[in-house]
Amino acid sequence: MTDLLSQLKEMLSASGLSGFESPIREIVRTAWEPLTDELLVSKIGSLHGFKQGSGPDPRHRVLISAHMDAIGMMVTEIRDGLMHVTEIGGLDHRILPGQPVTVHGREDLPGVVVQPPAHLLPDSVGDGPVEMKYLMVDVGLLPREVQKKVRVGDPVSYAQAPLELTGEALAGHTLDNRVSVAATTLCLEALQSRHHTWDVWAVASAQEEETLGGAFTSPFDIRPDIAIVIDVCFAKGPGSNDWRSLPFGKGVGIGYGPNIHPALYDAFEKKAKDLEIPYHKDLMPKMSGTDAMAVQIVAEGIPCAVLGIPLRYMHTPVETVSLKDIRRAGRLMAEFITDLDKDSLNQIQWDA
């Protein structure tokens, strides 16, 4: 049985920034290998795990899409041994000074994000947060050594260790979206002891944070009949308490909006009620901000459901999640897939 906490800590130890997913992909490959019948890597680096259903040929296909890439930084300039950086994915520059990082150069180098003293900054900066263009990464080496080990374009990832909090909560970087990869692993594990008619394709997708590349390409290759996109969503916390956020640690979000097929929303809501799994309607009146934005419009269109694991402090080094909600999401997906039979697709009609 998967040790969820250990698996998450292992995944958080890998960088795997958007476009540089190789380190995290190998960890996911090891986790999924005993749970799938076949593993493939797509042409842009997404990992495809296939688990054959028990129904007669031709079987319907369900896709689970959980992006594995993370936000981070990239070296743009090296001056006097210090590195200027820009963002990969959405970063908040206010939280960067003082953060420990790893520069992935010719070798991995520990470093820290630093800023000039106030009297050396332009008067226009004022007393507020220092803009990213003034921040630098220091790895403690002499300039000539830095020139040998680091190049412009090298990625830079967060480096602090995850922290176990009370109440079965975990804080750390890149929980967006490693928690959903973990939930997908739990789903695949549960399906080992369940009879499922449909073929299951689990995808740890690449480049969600920047290009949605994996979400556009993997469904085109797999051609699923329906898709389950699992990602994090905003949990209630400081400054985040309106309809755009869900209670922390009190259930799974079920997406509701244009990216989501209404019949799949209804099916997941009914399944959550039947199983007494706590859930909340996650309103998505515009784009969902998930792989579903791309998956939904691949080929002739793919009916999508979106599940969300509530997360506090998104896109910071202290993202915080409840382990209970990860387990709930994994179980909900497994039970939903188990119920799919040869006639289920006929019930997924837009005007039903």
Where does the chain hold its CATH 3.40.630.10 domain(s)? 4-70+173-347
CATH H-level, domain 4-70+173-347: superfamily:
Zn peptidases (3.40.630.10)
Q: Give the pLDDT score at 155.
A: 98
Cα gap 222→173, rounded to integer Å: 31
Alpha-carbon 267 to chain mean position? 24
Q: Give the pLDDT score at 352.
A: 55
Q: Give the pLDDT score at 145.
A: 98
Cα gap 21→83, rounded to integer Å: 22
Where does the chain hold its CATH 2.40.30.40 domain(s)? 72-158
Q: Give the pLDDT score at 196.
A: 97
Q: Give the pLDDT score at 118.
A: 83
Residue ranges of alpha helices (H) inside the chain are 4-12, 22-32, 143-149, 175-191, 213-222, 262-275, 292-295, 323-339
The segments of the chain whose pLDDT lies below 70 read 352
Q: Give the pLDDT score at 128.
A: 80
The secondary structure of the chain in percent helix, strand, coil, rounded to multiples of 5, reads 30, 30, 40
* 82 beta partners: 79
Cα gap 268→190, rounded to integer Å: 17
Q: Give the pLDDT score at 41.
A: 98
Supply the CATH classification number for the domain 72-158. Answer: 2.40.30.40
Classify residue 316 as exposed, middle or buried by CB count within 10 Å of its CB (0-12, 13-18, 19+).
buried
* Token pair listed for 326: 């990860």
